[in-house]
């Protein structure tokens, strides 16, 4: 019996359900797939567009007890929907585990990442990805528990942390 571990998989987005089905056939039901996601509200041509994004694009995390065993990976190598296993995952277990825990701890009740995922820094630039200021760049000048003071252009504004999504610019 091997050590339980995470692997990182590059997958074909169109065939994720096939990948899950084939993993279930070959591994049983004792594996976990985790895909950190963002839910964005974007304004385009004065219309609000809601869209789900995978934070890691076409990569996902998969957890199973036998991933340390090369024969397990060989058995899964030709599953439909699988492009490849990212090499080096065995040496990176602590980092993967820490990242997955950080993602899960930053999810809202629907399972989407919220702004607590990012480590906010004063005097750093960020770009709104939701709300009326979508695509606008701002600088954080003060951080409080639930509120952020920002400069957008030469205007100082206070916003609530939970009302907007933004990324480092």
The DSSP line for 42-82 is EEETTEEEEEEEETTTTEEEEEETTTTSHHHHHHHTT-TTE
pLDDT tens digits, residue range 9-54? Answer: 999 999 999 999 999 999 988 899 999 998 776 666 777 777 788 8
Backbone angles phi, psi at 160, to 5 degrees: -85, 135
Residue 148 pLDDT > 70, yes or no?
A: yes
CB neighbour list of residue 148: distance below 8 Å, 6 or more residues apart: 120, 140, 142, 158, 159, 160, 161
- pLDDT greater at residue 143 or residue 96: 96
Given this model, what pLDDT does residue 120 score?
Answer: 77
Let me know whether 27 and 67 are in one domain: yes
Answer whether 19's CB lies under 8 Å from 79's CB: yes
- pLDDT greater at residue 133 or residue 107: 107
The predicted model scores a pTM of 0.71
Let me know whether 102 and 154 are in one domain: no
52: domain range?
5-115
Q: CATH code at 54?
A: 3.30.70.940
- pLDDT greater at residue 93 or residue 135: 93
Let me know whether 77 and 108 are in one domain: yes
Q: What is the DSSP letter of 86?
A: P
Let me know whether 124 and 67 are in one domain: no
Let me know whether 40 and 86 are in one domain: yes
Cα 62 to Cα 10: distance, rounded to the nearest angstrom: 11
Counting the structural domains of the chain, the total is 2
């Amino acid at each position: 019996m091997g050590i339980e571990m995470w692997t990182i998989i590059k997958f074909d987005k169109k065939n994720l359900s096939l990948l899950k089905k084939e993993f279930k056939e070959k591994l049983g039901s004792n594996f976990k797939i985790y895909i950190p996601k963002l839910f964005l509200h974007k304004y385009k041509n004065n219309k609000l567009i809601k869209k789900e994004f995978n934070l890691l694009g076409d990569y996902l995390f998969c957890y199973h007890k036998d991933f340390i065993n090369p024969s397990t990976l060989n058995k899964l190598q030709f599953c439909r929907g699988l492009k490849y296993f990212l090499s080096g995952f065995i040496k990176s277990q602590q980092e993967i585990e820490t990242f997955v825990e950080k993602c899960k701890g930053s999810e809202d009740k629907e399972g989407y990442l919220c702004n607590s995922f990012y480590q906010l820094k004063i005097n750093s630039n960020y770009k709104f990805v939701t709300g009326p200021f979508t695509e606008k760049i701002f600088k954080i000048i003060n951080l409080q528990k639930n509120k952020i003071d920002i400069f957008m252009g030469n205007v100082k504004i206070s916003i609530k942390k939970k009302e907007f999504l933004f990324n480092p610019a």
